[in-house]
Amino acid sequence: MSVQMRKFLAAVLLIFIVFGWVVTIFGAGPIPTLKEKIKLGLDIEGGVYVVMEAKTDLTGDKLKKLMEQTQAVIEQRVNQMGLSEPIVTIEGEKRIRIELPGAQDSDEAIKTIGKTAQLQFMLADGTVALDGSMVKDAGITSDTQNGGYAISLKFNSAGTAAFAKATEKALSGTVTPKIDGVLPNAIAITLDNQIISAPSVKDKISNGEAIITSGTGGFSQDEATNLSALIRGGSLPVALEEVNTSTRTATIGYNAFEMSVIAGIIAVALIIIIMLAFYGIMGVAANIALLLYIILVLWTMVLLGSVLTLPGIGGIILSIGMAVDANVIIFTRIREEIEHGKSLRVSVHSGFKRALNTIIDSHVTTIIASLVLYQLGTGPVKGFALTLMLGIIASLVTATVVTQLFLDIFCESKHFSALKYYGMNEDNTPKFKLKRKFSFIKHRKIFYIISIVIIISGLAVGGIRGYNYGIDFTGGTMMQFDMGKQVELSKVDDTLNAVGIKASELVYAGKNNTEIIIRTMDSLDNEARNQVIAEFNKDFGITEKNVLSVEQFGPSVGKDLRMNALKSVLISCIGMLIYIILRFELKFGIAAVAGVLHDVLIVISLYGIFHVTINNPFIAGILTVLGYSINDTIVIFDRIRENLGIMKKNKLEELLDVSINETLVRSIMTSSTVLVVMIPLFVLTSNTIREFMLPLFIGVVVGTMSSIFMCSPIYYDLCQLSGGTKYKGIKSKKAN
């Protein structure tokens, strides 16, 4: 490609980036801003989600068909609630997740959806006359006699005959009432054995159509809409049990969103400064690529219809830190080429070429972990995995295409072709380079002992004292109330005891401690939560409107989370092992997976020692640690593989030490940038994102250390045991 063509493409790209950021922030004519276009998750926008589990023993195709029927019925109901884009999805084999953006009342939502939702029409004596499957349609109409609204019903042929027979019997005077509050001439409409309406029959109805009125004043529009939706939904084909509920007000979610955006801006600014400070003109190219990278990720989410959650924001910002890694690998290679005496132009081209395989290998292994996380994760974890995956793919494109385009232009420029702009002295030596060479293989047994001590101590402490599992692992409930003022925790505890609830944790939250967070190890269903709210109303004047957020997890959810966590780790390791074997050799694969398992055990051990809460975000954190750790290890292994083909006269232990030292600055630099990105997230954002960041924070440090101090020594010992590597000409001797 000619110089002029490259300059033209660079100019077009810069215009596109500027235009993209203007549109993203301010919009442009008919094009809305990103804020208006992107879908926000319930944890930001506010709303309710409920996960319900089918109580059935069916399996295979019969279960699949049953769940699809159930999904269709629930979709029919929630679509009548007037909410923005409700979502009903099958989760796993037996669960239905219902997401209701904008809804604030979980009690009303669950009632409308229907807990077990068996719709029946009964005579006053309890005789079932017909069921919901016989209802053809239900809607609202004006109540011309009483004012307000009424419900119109239409039945299918079977329902028409059954309803005609029922109305005739209700008018006959032979029905003895056995249902409290239901008149002899009434027909009770029940949902899950709860009466939702009991209209009196005035005439025999044989035409398959009926009108339900409420008497004086008629129904309000909301009452008529909800009742008609429940009737129109019909009977669910299976009983459902509430196993997970979450309610969040828009205020809490949006405040957390704003703080996350601020943290993201700070993180990006820090990355830009760091890249300029350490890499000069190469940092300028990387920062241009970074600005494009952010636009690509965000607008790709819009085009895919993806939902942006708080953990998803964490995934984007974390992937920004990891995206720096590709540029750091490239820049390290370019400096090495310059140091070998090559011209700047040749160094840029050969540096990119030599870095490409390393970048692809390191990113693919991270994508494997992200894919597993997306497939086995639920809710916010999926959002985290999706944004992380999009970020990794975007970083591959921007680093290998955009950064290279601008570096090609810079190195051919009269103004920016001096070596000082590339962090090099005029004698082709780097301005910053670790002068000391470390002997890692020689001291490997010390590293082994330190890791074994930490792992055994952590697992022993966690096993004896017990790990601090969150309610999403054990089952339980979290409720957050806005009390309006600071109240004594002892009084709150007394209120809970009055309804037979023992709090496992009571803490203040919000400004001036005006909010209370209650955690119980009991999984409180909708009815139990309503009892708590009623008691709070009596003692503190608190209503449903003062409930800021609710999280409820049934015991079966926690069991599935633990199993999914185990499966995620195993599947990720198998996938990575296969890829590394194909790209390298078996011993490299075993050493890499051993390092990954080491990192997982270290993180779990530290959580056991310091009694940190293990919950759903912890799984996402662990899997991201897997991806990051393997990313760092692959970079070192790639250098070892390269040196195995070059340094044939060296001893294996010498070669490994040289390879680790050659990539040491890159490992430190990449880890530092990722940690720098995490700090604003950890300090400024909500607990939700902090729960994701903590295992990542620990994991980045542990992963970096293991790739340097553990994986290469393990590879060395494997070579010792098997008599060498598949690469010929490498001498090996037992290290001290």
CATH superfamily of 253-422: Multidrug efflux transporter AcrB transmembrane domain (1.20.1640.10)
State yes or no: pLDDT of 41 exceeds 70.
Answer: yes
3-state SS string over 137-183?
Answer: EEEEEECCCCCCEEEEEEECHHHHHHHHHHHHHHHCCCCCCCCCCCC
Which of 18-32, 353-367, 578-592 shows the lowest per-residue confidence on average (mean pLDDT)?
353-367
Determine the pLDDT at residue 736. Answer: 43
Residue 735 has pLDDT above 50, yes or no: no
DSSP calls for 65-87? HHHHHHHHHHHHHHGGG--SS-E
Average pLDDT, the chain: 84
Given this structure, which CATH class describes domain 444-465+557-722? mainly alpha
- How confident is the model over 362-369, as a mean pLDDT? 81
Task: Give the pLDDT confidence of 338-353 residue by residue, as tens digits.
Answer: 988 898 989 999 999 9
Query: Closest Cα partner for 686 from 129, 426, 310?
Result: 310
The pLDDT-based confidence of 52 (bands split at 50, 70, 90) is confident
Average pLDDT, integer, range 443-456: 95
**Residue that has been written with the tokens 């089918």 in this structure:** 54
User: For the segment 80-109, what is each residue's pLDDT rounded down to a tens digit?
Assistant: 666 666 788 888 888 888 888 777 666 777
Calculate ∠ Cα 129-134-137, nearest 5°: 125
What is the distance between the alpha carbons of residues 710 and 137, in angstroms, rounded to a whole number?
A: 67
Q: Note the pLDDT of residue 223.
A: 81
Provide the percentage of residues in the chain whose pLDDT is more than 70: 91
Kindly state the average pLDDT of the residues 575-599. Answer: 88
Mean pLDDT, rounded, for 215-220: 75
The string of DSSP codes covering 209-277 is: EEEE--STT-B-HHHHHHHHHHHHH---SS-EEEEEEEEE-HHHHHHHHHHHHHHHHHHHHHHHHHHHH
The helix (H) or strand (E) run that includes residue 551 is strand 547-553
Q: Is the pLDDT of residue 20 over 90?
A: yes
- Distance separating alpha carbons of residues 690 and 370, to the nearest angstrom: 19
Residue 544 clears pLDDT 50, i.e. is over it:
yes
Range of 84-93, 238-247, 268-277, 630-639 with top mean pLDDT: 268-277
pLDDT confidence bin for 306, thresholds 50/70/90: confident
The stretch 274-286 carries a mean pLDDT of 91
Cβ atoms of residues 196 and 227 within 8 Å: yes
Q: Give me the pLDDT at residue 459, please.
A: 94
pLDDT at 250: 67
pLDDT of 38 above 50: yes
pLDDT at residue 272 in the model? 92
CATH hierarchy code of domain 479-553: 3.30.70
pLDDT band at residue 326 using 50, 70 and 90 as cut-offs: confident
Q: What is the mean pLDDT of residues 353-362?
A: 85
| pLDDT above 90 (res 456) | yes
Domain extent listing, the chain: 42-114+239-248, 119-233, 253-422, 444-465+557-722, 479-553
* Structure tokens, 682: 């950890």
CATH among 2.60.120.560, 1.10.10.10, 3.90.180.10, 3.30.1360.200 for 119-233: 3.30.1360.200
42-114+239-248, what's its fold?
A: Alpha-Beta Plaits (3.30.70)
At 720, list the tokens. Answer: 């010792």
Position 532 scores a pLDDT of 92
Report pLDDT for 66.
83
Q: Is the pLDDT of residue 451 over 90?
A: yes
At 713 the pLDDT is: 95
Mean pLDDT of 651-676: 88
Please tell me if the domain spanning 119-233 has the same topology as the one spanning 444-465+557-722: no
- Note the Cα 626 to chain centre separation in Å: 16
Q: What is the mean pLDDT of residues 611-629?
A: 75
| pLDDT (mean) for 706-722 | 91
For residue 516, the model assigns a pLDDT of 92
Confidence of residue 21 (pLDDT cuts 50, 70, 90): very high
**Residue 13 reports pLDDT greater than 90:** yes
What is the C-alpha to C-alpha distance for residues 83 and 285, in angstroms, rounded to an integer? 45
Task: Provide the pLDDT confidence category of residue 116 given band limits of 50, 70 and 90.
Answer: very low
Per-residue model confidence (pLDDT) at position 493: 92
Look at residue 215 in the predicted model and tell me its pLDDT: 67
| Predicted confidence (pLDDT) per residue in 133-171, tens digit | 788 888 889 888 888 888 899 999 999 999 999 999 999
Which amino acid is residue 595, in one-letter code? G
**Rounded distance between C-alpha atoms, residue 319 and residue 663, angstroms:** 21
Sheet holding 135-142, edge to edge: 135-142, 149-155, 209-212
The SS3 call for residue 25 is: helix
